[in-house]
Amino acid sequence: MRIVVLVSGTGSNLQAVIDAVAKGSLPVEIAAVGADRPGTYGVQRSADAGLETFEVNFKDFSTRTDWDAALLRKVASYAPDYVVSSGFMRIVAPGFIDAFEGRYVNTHPALLPSFPGAHGVRDAMAYGVKVTGCTVHFADAGVDTGPIIAQTPVEVFPEDTEDSLHGRIKVAERELLIKVLADLAGRWDSVQA
Ligand code: GRF
């Protein structure tokens, strides 16, 4: 099963996927890792791991439509079976969703449908929930919407800061992502067989 991973930031969850693949515990080929801006640590650590990387810098395009088309072209050029948004902080166009329908997987640091958006951890804390968590789902053209594949709850402690809570969520998130990818790889093999 070939995947392309999209990142916007540090890619610590991606690193866990890279490590699981390297250890032989995740039967997935990372065809490429791409970002929407230059200089992300996610792309850097992928290059360090010897992976193919690319950047489709949002700011290099004069229209949103041009960026959408360039991202789709680039990702499709790797012929991935699944595309994984791992901390990729941009909504993709409906054309991208159509091209990878049921094959575009997103992770989110909250229990969707609660607290979608860029500040899922902060928003959950501000609401005062006692349990939050992470979600891996098939993304559609909305903001953190689409069929849920799996979730893990994470308890909120009174002494938590956004960083401490997000840190624990990310530990759960990377385990969940690896498990989901392993499940999809199993399913993918049986589809191919
Ligand atoms: C994850 O919690 C992801 O769900 C959120 O941003 C975080 C990415 O962290 N959108 P990293 O780039 O994997 O370190």
Every domain of the chain and the residues it spans: 2-192
Bridge-partner residues for 148, per DSSP?
137
86 C-alpha to ligand 1 centroid (Å):
6
85 CB less than 6 Å from ligand 1? Answer: no
| Residue 18: predicted pLDDT | 97
10 C-alpha to ligand 1 centroid (Å):
8
CB 8 within 8 A of CB 92: no
CB 129 within 8 A of CB 110: no
Note the maximum CA span of the chain. 51
- Closest atom of ligand 1 to 8 CA is 12
> Which residue's CA is minimally distant from atom 14 of ligand 1?
12
CB 81 within 8 A of CB 2: yes
This prediction's pTM? 0.95
10 CB less than 6 Å from ligand 1? Answer: yes
- The CATH code of the domain at 2-192 is 3.40.50.170
Alpha-carbon span 89 to 184, nearest angstrom: 23
45 CB less than 6 Å from ligand 1? Answer: no
Cis peptide upstream of residue 38 (ω within 30 degrees of 0): no
Instruction: Quote the distance between the C-alpha of residue 46 and its chain's center.
Output: 14
Alpha-carbon span 50 to 61, nearest angstrom: 28
Bridge-partner residues for 155, per DSSP?
131
Where residue 188 falls among pLDDT bands split at 50, 70, 90? confident
Q: What is the pLDDT of residues 122-135, one digit of tens each?
A: 999 999 999 999 99
Report the candidate in 135, 139, 138 with the shortest Cα–Cα distance to residue 150: 135
| Residue 116: predicted pLDDT | 98
Q: 161: which 2 tokens?
A: 């800061």
Instruction: Quote the distance between the C-alpha of residue 40 and its chain's center.
Output: 15
Share of the chain above pLDDT 70, in %: 99
Relative orientation angle of helices 41-48 and 12-23, to the nearest 10 degrees: 20
Alpha-carbon span 82 to 64, nearest angstrom: 23
Residues with catalytic roles: 108
pLDDT at position 5 over 90: yes
173 CB less than 6 Å from ligand 1? Answer: yes
Going by the DSSP 8-state scheme, the letter that residue 93 receives in this structure is: P
Q: Are strands 131-138 and 82-85 parallel, antiparallel or unpaired?
A: unpaired
120 CB less than 6 Å from ligand 1? Answer: no
CB 2 within 8 A of CB 78: yes
pLDDT at position 189 over 90: no
| Residue 48: predicted pLDDT | 97
> Which residue's CA is minimally distant from atom 9 of ligand 1?
87
